[in-house]
Amino acid sequence: MEKQTVETFVDTEKQTFNVTGMTCAACQAAVERAVSKLPGVSEADVSLLSENMKVEYDPAKVDAAQIISAVESAGYDASLKDTHVANAAQVNQSEAANDYEQRSRRMRDEMEHKKKVLYSSLILLAILMVFSMLPMMGVFSFLMSMEWMMVDGIIQLFLATIILFIQRDFFTHGFKTLFHGNPNMDTLVALGSSVSFVYGFYGLLMMAYGYGTMNHELIHSSMDALYFEGAAMIVTLVSLGKYLEARSKTKTGDALAKLVKLAPKTALVQQANGEFVETPVDTVQAGALIKIVPGATIPVDGVVVSGTGTVDQAALTGESIPVDKKAGDEVMSATTNLNGSFIFRATKVGNDTTLSQIISLVDEAGNSKAPIARLADRVSGIFVPTVLVLAAITLVGWLIAGQSFGFALNCAISVLVISCPCALGLATPLAIMVATGKAAQNGILVKSASALEELAKINTVVLDKTGTITKGKPAVASITLFNSALSEKQFLQLAASAESGSEHPLAKAILEEAKALDLELLPASNFEAFGGRGLKATVNGLTITAGNPAFMKEQGIGISAYITQRAQKAAKAGGTPLYFAMNNKLTGLISVADEIRETSRQAISLLRKEGIEVIMLTGDNAQTAKAIASKLDLSDVIADVLPADKESVIRKLQSEGRKTAMVGDGINDAPALMRADVGIAIGAGTDIAIDAADIVLMKNNLMDVVTAIQLSKATIRNIKQNLFWAFFYNLCGIPLAAGLFYPALGWLLNPMFGSAAMSFSSITVCLNALRLRFFKPAHAQVQESENSVAEVTFESLEEPEETSPEAAIEMPSTNRRTDAPHLNRAAEPKHGQAVKPMKDSDGNQIPANLKKKPLVLYSKSNPVPNPAPEVTPAASEPKLQESASYLADADQPARAIAIFSVDGMSCMHCVNHVLSALKGLDGVTYARVTLHPAAAYVESIKPIAREAFVKAVTDAGYEVEVGDQCTPLDLNPDSCKAEIAVWRKLVESIKTPAIAWIWVDLEKHVLEVCGQSAVELASIEKALFDMNHEPQKGGESMILKISGMSCAHCKARVEKALSAVPGVDAVRVDLDKAEAVVEGKDLDAKALAHAVTEAGYAVNAIE
């Protein structure tokens, strides 16, 4: 019997503690080890750089006092961080900013203290060297005489004692941690220096004894044993390294320091009497009105209520182009108003401002640990005890080898002082702190060190289309006129005026285009909207009707096959076509599309150069997705993906062994962002605290994804260099200090050089990490402009034989462009010469009653641009589906089928609307709607009336074609017992364009077919005859083990794909078992596997 595990929810707390006295990685490891041993502590994370500790614990088992006690027992001091801020709503600077300033102040004070200690020690050391080293070089040689030797020794003792006293922190910290069982780097320095000093003091005593006994040989040998200069030199050189290290640390937070300094101290706040008075920012509350003048820095976040300005947001977003601000626009704290004046209402103050959140994120990320540091942490925990053992072994080993005690002691002291756990401890956090600060300067907010490390391993980037690759804002792409004497501007003016009363996004796109052309909107009356299908309005005496094809037909407005073809062309180019009629005559077509960002193509190209595969994810139909992918030279596209299914796509990619990064706008991508190895939210603006994202990009610029990846790779490379140097230094330095090379090469290291080498190793790591401050992306930054206008194509087709009713309408002054190019008209044919049919730009023949007018193109950036060429997708591009399906978990089998044509669908959004309407009908177990051909297929457990289908689709804004002539056919009762998959295959095979409606009732044994004219029944009767005389279940069956299926949608796709394979009679798909059972005759295993693969899944085995 399997053991069951019951998960219990534990309410834990997270607290931050200040920890002082830590000097190296061994200290950090000792504190973590001491706190982690406490019962109830689930996580303890100590930061050496910020001198704090974050602990997650169960308050029922342990409290803050016990945690502080554990730290003190390890030999360090701790206190609970004071997170209370008086009236936080009134404090402008965040707690993170205050903490950083306090920490910076403490680091600067510490650096000044180290500087004073170092200078004092260097002066005294120089004097000490005069008495210890110069006499041996012939300077002040009288000190080597018998009369002065004792005096010289006493002077050295006196000077060395003062230096050691000045450097007493090494001894207080080092011996304190040693006595608590957690020796650190200070312990090694203190032991090495103390042993040198004690041995020198012993030599001085022996010298005095020699003077007392008149033993000249003892006096001279004792003089050689004075190690006072060595003791002083060790601590002085180490303090030099510590001072340089402290200076380097202060520079690692330069980026954060710049952010902290951005916020102004005062603001012009409106008082009760209406006057604006300069007020301390600390007193500003949400809702206050604040005035911003030219050159002023915005103190808090808010929304502009009046006035205009141009704001430089580079300090926060890295965007160098200033942004125009007007009423209703958001403004961010710490950005600068370059010109203009405006008043805004404060919405976020204190810890809630954008600046405060950025400071908090950067600070937390800089102090977090990267997984790559785990090895260094493990080594640091045992490093110092190991060095102490090695020093003892060195001492004893050389004594056993017959060397003098002085020689052995020299080697042991060298081992102690050359060993450097600091380099190991600094290798990762310094690089992480510099990198996160540098990222923030570029508008990239990294939430943790682990995210930065994972980003360097990414090999697949999944880009959500809407709002990421595209701007997420519809814009007019093309305008086509039919049989109209109107100019394109006149037509657009009328269309925009009619749409002015609509709140639909597509209507707003038309209004924006009219505004960009400075077209004045005309008064509109009798406005009437029809629930997402269209609208009617009266403008300038014209009755304007606008909407989709179904709405046009509903209003009695005919649409020719050729015009439908033009609309389909617009849809294939990635647009949504809108029909416009004036006085019940179709006048024009406006295609609205989502613009591709200027940086998307370059970013995708650069990602490929980084060796990363790029995949576009979209809920759009296959045609739109293919059109956008073609413009981006992108072959990997996954279309028809609902927001809820994005997470399963990421999961499938990960199951293939890919390291994925998901890039989305954070609105409906949260599950996918969380599932991905690295979630990247783009265009966050002021909403930077997106929980689902690991990395937040403040700008709507895909180039920042490239920058983030390049920075992460540079950071990990820097960390590896630091770790290599730290390990290499110790692996080479300790054997050299121990004298292992002395017998063969005669190499012997003086302890003074050992201490200098230890300092040099830490400084090297610091300087290498600081190189990241000069990181620059390996590409030119391209600024994204949200206000750029897409190129719009105008095309006009006119009917010269007739006079359009609107031709005589007097319009405002919106003259046609006179600078547009014109196509050369062909010469008039001679008498008797055959006239070749005219064709459009796609090679399609234009109806005889239509001829092309001049093609007019314009662009805001380019007056006469070339039309975008049709791009044929690469042959390797995966097949894209243009359908949506629904499968219900029904207890009863389906016993009725309906398949019918649907008019008015032009995109996958239409398909999904129709599908939603159909699946709401009572008894539906399976439904599928296709865009090409525009049809719906429905299975139900009971017959559904034709009127119910018509009403459901009509209410959704579309039309059902049934036909005027219907023919019922009686079915063989035995054939009605066949599996539903058999009937599904039969019904789909007999559906032709001439047949608008097929309805099957397996309970009453009836099949009905309808069309606009009498339906040819011969082929249908033959199909029914063949089915009646074929076995319903073949003599064989196969079981396919399939991976990648995760939902009912997947199940339906696999079932459909397998049912289409020749010889298949029945298919049963089981999601739980991840298998499909196929029954039929002459089954081809390869064909079945190929069908599943084409559907987007993998066959693991066939039984």
In 3D space, the residue among 587, 479, 560 whose CA is nearest the CA of residue 849 turns out to be 560
The amino acid occupying position 134 is L
Q: Name 1082's Cβ contacts closer than 8 Å, sequence gap at least 6.
A: 1034, 1062, 1063
Nearby residues of 960 by Cβ (< 8 Å), 6 or more positions away? 900, 901, 902, 903, 949, 950, 953, 954, 997
Strand boundaries in 831-957, DSSP class E:
851-852, 856-858, 883-887, 896-903, 924-930, 935-940
CA distance 659 to 454: 8
How far is residue 447's CA from residue 691's CA, in Å, rounded to a whole number?
10
Q: Which residues contact 313 (CB under 8 A, 6 or more apart)?
A: 319, 322, 323, 332, 335
Token pair of 262 as six digits: 């951005």
Helix (H, G, I), strand (E, B) or coil at 215: coil
Which positions ≥6 away from 75 have C-beta within 8 Å? 21, 30, 173, 176, 177, 179, 180, 182
Laid out side by side, the sheet with 77-80 consists of 41-47, 52-57, 13-20, 77-80
Contact 73, 34 (CB under 8 A): yes
Residue-level length of the chain: 1103
List phi, psi (to 5°) of 1009: -125, 140
Q: What are phi and psi of 117, to 5 degrees?
A: -60, -45
Would you call 139 helix, strand, or coil by DSSP? coil
The three-state secondary structure class of 73 is helix
For 171, other C-beta atoms within 10 Å of its C-beta total 19
Q: Which amino acid is at 1084?
A: D
The burial class, CB within 10 Å (0-12 / 13-18 / 19+), for 721 is middle
Question: What's the CA gap between 163 and 408, in Å, rounded?
Answer: 25
What Cα–Cα distance (Å) separates residue 957 from each residue in 310, 579, 917, 951, 960?
A: 44, 14, 10, 10, 10
Angle between helices 703-738 and 600-609 (to 10 degrees): 30
Task: Kindly tell me the burial class for residue 689, based on how many C-beta atoms sit within 10 Å of its own C-beta (0-12, 13-18, 19 or more).
Answer: middle
109 exposed, middle or buried (CB, 10 Å; 0-12, 13-18, 19+)? exposed
User: What are the CA-CA distances from residue 789 to residues 329, 765, 792, 832, 989 (Å)?
Assistant: 20, 49, 9, 49, 47
Q: Are 19 and 71 contacting, i.e. CB atoms less than 8 angstroms apart?
A: yes
Instruction: List the one residue out of 393, 297, 409 whose CA is nearest residue 353.
Output: 297
The H or E element that residue 959 is part of is strand 959-961
User: Does the active-site annotation cover 464?
Assistant: yes
In the block, which residue shows the tokens 């942490």? 377
Return the ∠ at Cα 953 (arms to 952 and 955), rounded to 5°: 65
Question: Which are the contacts of 644, defined by CB distance < 8 A and separation ≥ 6?
Answer: 671
Catalytic: which of 464, 594, 665, 669? 464
Longest CA span, the chain: 144
How does strand 585-596 pair with strand 575-582?
antiparallel
Residue 826: φ, ψ to 5°: -70, 150
Extended strands (E) in 469-541: 470-482, 524-530, 534-539
Catalytic machinery residues = 464
